[in-house]
Chain A
């Protein structure tokens, strides 16, 4: 039981940190998911700087923002928004997709030097 309590306390502490942390930082880059397609399909960011993408899912059903290269996965319910935070990255092309509609929902983050 002690272990469970300790874990709960850790969770509470973490969430408190998250609140403090996320209040600052640059504004998130908007990304629209509509008809299972991303707009813009390509996002350009500067290297070695953290950034955030605010995904708006304008479709009626959930999708999962999924990127192995960014190491990010986030389920976004239909009609909802979701923030995906990414740490500083070296230059390169980092593809992402909407996993539940991967045929059409494709995009990439281009990190420029």
Chain B
């Protein structure tokens, strides 16, 4: 039971932390609850479909279907997170320049929300399909321990959701004028981490076969398999034995994000952003 709880808990927090960051980052944007819920709903539905077709997906592309699918949806999520950050940076400037255009901004805001709904959907889809397969496996095996393990799984979902909610509330405790700088930073690191994971999947698929040797091994200091390691893997892309390609992907996304945000808003992006959105956040 404890084993099942831990496995499900870890998968739930991986998706839940992303949902928490997205919710904090979209604070004050009208209609976000609907979009984020739609993202979660689509993710759960997709996870069930994915679990059913897991075998079929795997056998595609000479057995690399699963890896390519994972890499593709991770790259999609990186694109959406980048769009969000860049849009927010530009939005801040527009908002401070012409306050009258708030109505139009709300419409544009829903586009950014659409991007974030995709991010949430991808996160729930990836982790959710693993939970579904795992729990289905337990249920299919039967036996005396089945009920206990399923109960463990249910507790894992609850505990994971609770921790994710705590993370969200923790982010909200940050003063409004700092929150947007914080979430911009978090989303940048989140995107970089997802890009590094995508790089690993492309290597696993055999698409890219360079820079595969680990650069360092910090597994004795902080193992990637530990719960804290998993948390950091989700939030900042921590990996205890990163290879060259992963590091390059990580750095490239951070550099791309900063460059794009500077381009749309040459002044300090975070400050302009906070000034623009703070009145909304107080609602």
Contact = CB atoms under 8 A, between A and B. Distances in A.
A complexed with B: yes
B59 interface: yes
A68 B140 contact: no
Interface in A59-75: 60-64, 68-69, 71-72, 74-75
A107 to B, nearest CB: 15
B55 A18 contact: no
B58 A80 contact: yes
Contact of A77 (B55, B67, B83, B204): B55
Contacts of B203: 71, 85, 87
A3 B137 contact: no
Interface string A1-41: 00100010011001101110111010000000000000000
B130 A64 contact: yes
Given A18-B61, A63-B137, A85-B205, A75 B212 contact: no
Interface string A90-109: 10000000011011000000
B207 A17 contact: yes
Contact of A62 (B7, B133, B209, B246): B133
A68 B64 contact: no
Interface in B49-65: 51, 54-55, 58-59, 61-64
Q: How large is the interface on B (under 10, 10 to 19, 20 to 34, 35 or more residues)?
A: 35 or more
A17 B208 CA distance: 9
Contact of A100 (B61, B134, B214): B134
Contact of A103 (B3, B61, B225): B3
Nearest to A72: B204
Given A18-B61, A18-B205, A88 B212 contact: yes
B266 to A, nearest CB: 24
A61 B64 contact: no
A74 B204 contact: yes
Given A15-B68, A60-B140, A89-B213, A83 B207 contact: no
A17 B125 CA distance: 25
B240 A68 contact: yes
A100 B79 CA distance: 31
A3 B204 contact: no
A31 B61 CA distance: 20
B223 A68 contact: yes
Contact of B64 (A10, A71, A83, A99): A83
Contact of A14 (B7, B202, B213): B202
A80 B59 contact: yes
A31 B58 CA distance: 16
Contacts of A52: 206
B262 interface: no
B66 interface: yes
Interface string B109-151: 0000000000000000000011001101110110000000000
A75 B206 contact: no
B94 interface: no
Interface in B1-60: 3, 7, 51, 54-55, 58-59
Given A60-B141, A81-B59, A82-B66, 7 more contacts: A7-B72, A18-B206, A64-B134, A74-B67, A78-B55, A84-B204, A85-B64
Interface of B: 3, 7, 51, 54-55, 58-59, 61-64, 66-68, 71-72, 75-76, 79, 83, 129-130, 133-134, 136-138, 140-141, 200, 202-207, 209-210, 212-214, 219, 223-225, 239-241, 243, 246
